[in-house]
Amino acid sequence: MTFKDLNLDQRLLQGLEAIGFEEPTPIQEQAIPQIMAGMDIIGCAQTGTGKTAAFLLPVIHDIINHGSEGIAALVIVPTRELAIQIDQQVEGLGYFTGVSSLAIYGGKDGISFGQEKQALTDGADIIIATPGRLIAHLNLGYVNFDHLRYLILDEADRMLDMGFAEDIERIVGMLPPKRTNLLFSATMPPNIRKLARQIMDDPAEINIALSKPAQGVVQAAFPVYEKQKNDLIIHLLKARPLNSVIIFCSTKKAVGELNRVLQKAGFKVGAISSDLDQQQREEMLTRFKNGQLNVLVATNIVARGIDIEGIELVINYDVPCDAEEYVHRIGRTGRADATGIAFTLVSPEEMRDFDEIEQLIGMQVKKVKPPAHLGEAPEYNPRARRSSSTRPGRPGRGKGKRPVKRR
């Protein structure tokens, strides 16, 4: 099947051709016809499978053919990085269509807030917004959703994890009741199904490779002691020429420390964490995309929604707290049928957590002994007890701890 077989507007096909898209991915092939038929959709597919274009293409097609009297589509996303990326995709896919969009998120100046207000009042065709920033505008009373036709929740599981459930409920309560609802997520926990029942009308459900890493990703795990991790990463980076590597750490402190270690070792490395403001993050990502940096050390802030082509290697400096997060992290490589490599450094305190990840993804990840010059390494034992104290680089696991909202 090609995109022409989906009966998309010719101007959209021009945009697809210009950016080199020829054949739809499975999620696009299934979702686009159903959205064009006006159905509510729950789309569940792993990261890197083209979920964004799966909802943008039919929405842009509808706006081209039926026009808009104001805001036609609202896309709600968990992070500013994802808002920016989707806005850029609208620009690319809709280059020949004249469809307008604006990303609305916190951390910008007063001039940007004024531009957002104008778009929310006069009506850009597509608004992409983080919940907190949109609530800030809604509180001022001028947002006009009278002509809204589409509500899209992207990375819905992530939004609920971040504590945005109440904000989403409030936003949904201010929208026209007659609309098409599209919910896209990489995972489908019970709280997502509950949300779907609240806002959707007999949705069709599409599941593509639920909670599984892309087939093109070669995975391996290195059992090591915490003190061996920095030296092992330097060894892995020097083992072969690599142009594009992302290393994930669970805390901004670990990001800063590893960044300094790798700079001292002579690598072209940069770091992204919540310590940087939005402009600094964008500048760092641009330098990484342009090849000025070939190693990016980051927190989970870039684990979702950031589409960078050609990531050759992903390294998990530590095992993610959430088993689902592992899928998102390593999903930065091996995207769109490409191949990639994902290494995870597993200390004795993390072995049980990694075993939970293997149960989630339904496979045993190959265990590789680190090189002998690093010294004796621990044997892999998934039944090992977790450390009674919070281990380095990881937050506590206390029950009942509410997630922190981020705008």
Does 191 reside within a domain?
A: yes
Which residue bears the tokens 């959430």? 322
pLDDT band at 399, cuts 50/70/90?
very low
Q: Do 97 and 188 share a domain, yes or no?
A: yes
Looking at residues 288-309, what average pLDDT do you find?
80
Looking at residues 36-52, what average pLDDT do you find?
85
Please check the confidence at residue 207 and state whether its pLDDT lies above 80.
Answer: yes
Q: For the ranges 129-138, 185-194, 204-213, 365-374, which has the lowest average pLDDT?
A: 204-213
In what side-by-side order are the strands of the sheet with 313-316? 269-272, 295-298, 245-248, 313-316, 340-346, 217-223, 366-367
Question: Of 208, 226, 245, which closes a domain?
Answer: 208
The percent of residues above 90 in pLDDT, for the chain, comes to 57
Looking at residues 242-264, what average pLDDT do you find?
93
Give pLDDT, residue 55: 96
Does 14 reside within a domain?
A: yes
Please check the confidence at residue 401 and state whether its pLDDT lies above 60.
Answer: no
Q: Do 132 and 179 share a domain, yes or no?
A: yes
Does 386 reside within a domain?
A: no
pLDDT band at 112, cuts 50/70/90?
confident
Q: Do 180 and 227 share a domain, yes or no?
A: no
From residue 369, alpha-carbon distances to 27, 215, 384 in Å are 38, 23, 18
Give pLDDT, residue 246: 94
**DSSP secondary structure code for residue 122 in this structure:** I
pLDDT per residue as tens digits for the range 64-73: 999 999 999 9
Q: Do 82 and 183 share a domain, yes or no?
A: yes
Q: Do 23 and 134 share a domain, yes or no?
A: yes
pTM recorded for the entire structure: 0.62
Which residue bears the tokens 């809604």? 138
> Do residues 70 and 149 lie in contact, with contact meaning Cβ atoms separated by under 8 Å?
no
Question: Of 208, 227, 248, which closes a domain?
Answer: 208
**DSSP secondary structure code for residue 212 in this structure:** -
Which residue bears the tokens 């920033």? 133
With H, G, I as helix, E, B as strand and everything else as coil, classify residue 26.
helix
Cα angle 68, 69, 73 (rounded to 5 degrees) comes to 50
Q: Do 138 and 278 share a domain, yes or no?
A: no
> Do residues 80 and 155 lie in contact, with contact meaning Cβ atoms separated by under 8 Å?
no
Please check the confidence at residue 271 and state whether its pLDDT lies above 50.
Answer: yes
Give pLDDT, residue 183: 95
pLDDT per residue as tens digits for the range 131-189: 999 999 999 999 999 999 999 999 888 898 888 999 999 999 999 999 999 999 877 77
Output the average pLDDT for the chain.
86
Looking at residues 273-282, what average pLDDT do you find?
80
Task: Determine the number of helices (DSSP H) and then strands (DSSP E) in the chain.
Answer: 14, 14
Q: Do 225 and 335 share a domain, yes or no?
A: yes
Range of the domain at 139: 3-208
**DSSP secondary structure code for residue 121 in this structure:** I
Residue 21 backbone zone (phi > 0: left; psi -120 to 50: alpha; other: beta): beta
Which residue bears the tokens 């997520």? 185
Diameter of the chain measured on Cα atoms: 68
pLDDT band at 305, cuts 50/70/90?
low
Does 385 reside within a domain?
A: no
Does 356 reside within a domain?
A: yes
With H, G, I as helix, E, B as strand and everything else as coil, classify residue 206.
strand
Measured distance CA(153)–CA(395) in Å, rounded: 27
Give pLDDT, residue 212: 60
Looking at residues 285-307, what average pLDDT do you find?
82
Question: Of 181, 208, 235, which closes a domain?
Answer: 208
Q: Burial level of 11, CB count in 10 A (0-12/13-18/19+)?
A: middle
Does 177 reside within a domain?
A: yes
> Do residues 129 and 103 lie in contact, with contact meaning Cβ atoms separated by under 8 Å?
yes
Which residue bears the tokens 């998120």? 105
Does 317 reside within a domain?
A: yes
More confident residue, 234 or 122: 234
Q: Do 194 and 319 share a domain, yes or no?
A: no
Measured distance CA(305)–CA(328) in Å, rounded: 9
Beta bridge partners of 222: 345
Q: In what helix (H) or strand (E) does residue 296 lie, and over which residues does it extend?
A: strand 295-298
Q: Do 144 and 227 share a domain, yes or no?
A: no
Q: Do 88 and 24 share a domain, yes or no?
A: yes
Does 102 reside within a domain?
A: yes
**Residue 314: which CATH number?**
3.40.50.300
Looking at residues 2-22, what average pLDDT do you find?
90
Q: Do 185 and 298 share a domain, yes or no?
A: no
Q: Do 294 and 190 share a domain, yes or no?
A: no
Looking at residues 7-19, what average pLDDT do you find?
92
Give pLDDT, residue 41: 95
Give pLDDT, residue 163: 87
Please check the confidence at residue 265 and state whether its pLDDT lies above 80.
Answer: yes
**DSSP secondary structure code for residue 120 in this structure:** I
Measured distance CA(312)–CA(319) in Å, rounded: 19
Measured distance CA(81)–CA(52) in Å, rounded: 14
Report how many domains make up the chain: 2
